[in-house]
Amino acid sequence: MRVLLVEDDASLREGMGELISELAEVHAVSTGEDAVAALQAERFVLVITDLRISGGEQGGRTVVEAARQRQQPVAVVSAATPEEVTQAVLPHVADAILLKPFQIDDIVALVERFIALRQDVERLATQGGRPPASAWSSQGTHVRLAREPEPPTVWVSLTAGADVDWTFHPTSEGAGVQVVGGSLQVEGVTYAAPESLFLGAGQRPRVRSPEGCLAVVVGLKGQG
């Protein structure tokens, strides 16, 4: 698992990178442009970006926007208040906010939270048994759902030709999604089994599945 770290302060980037490297591989960059290029090239378990990079808030906001477009989770680091961070990245929403000054335990807990989500998703997709037939319920013409309480999970089955709004978050937070069978189109990007993605809190994209799809959706635990 890899974390994308975006920080233009060299000493802070090095220090944060060393902490995160105890938990995951780190790809560290100093500019929004390099971050966008990295997001286009690969997928990360978490993107961590300072709000103010390259001379202003737009640098961090650009990273948040790029992460959202690529359906990847993103946390914002800032000395501003949570309300100011929220306002700065609108219309997007960060999945977590890490306030400066922060402690070692804060950044460790942040990264561990998203690693745990990815591990839960992968475990259920590859090792977990599928819900029994009695657990499934129809939600319209093309959608069937099965819910499990721990971790908070929704199994989603879409029939061929499905074209629906995504309303399948298990919790009020973001959710990790892994395509178990078939394929899923989200905002024009196709994810085929066994690819994974992340949908942030409040994201309700239009999704399509020309061939049908089975996906497991696990809610992010806790609050950012």
pLDDT in tens, 151-176: 999 999 999 999 999 999 999 899 99
Encode pLDDT of 18-61 as tens digits. 999 999 999 999 999 999 999 999 999 999 999 988 655 568 89
- Rounded to whole angstroms, how far apart are CA atoms 213 and 204? 18
Phi-psi region of 182 (alpha: psi -120 to 50; beta: other; left: phi over 0): left
pLDDT at 202: 80
Contact 215, 176 (CB under 8 A): no
Q: How confident is the model at residue 106 (pLDDT cuts 50, 70, 90)?
A: very high
User: What does DSSP assign to residue 223?
Assistant: -
Domains, the chain: 2-102 (3.40.50.2300), 133-219 (2.60.120.10)
Q: How many other C-beta atoms can be found within 10 angstroms of the C-beta atom of residue 18?
A: 10
- Rounded to whole angstroms, how far apart are CA atoms 195 and 126? 12
Q: pTM for the complete prediction? A: 0.92
Encode pLDDT of 59-82 as tens digits. 889 999 999 999 999 999 999 999
Instruction: Using DSSP bridges, classify how beta strands 46-50 and 2-6 pair: parallel, antiparallel or unpaired.
Output: parallel
Q: What is the mean pLDDT of the chain?
A: 93
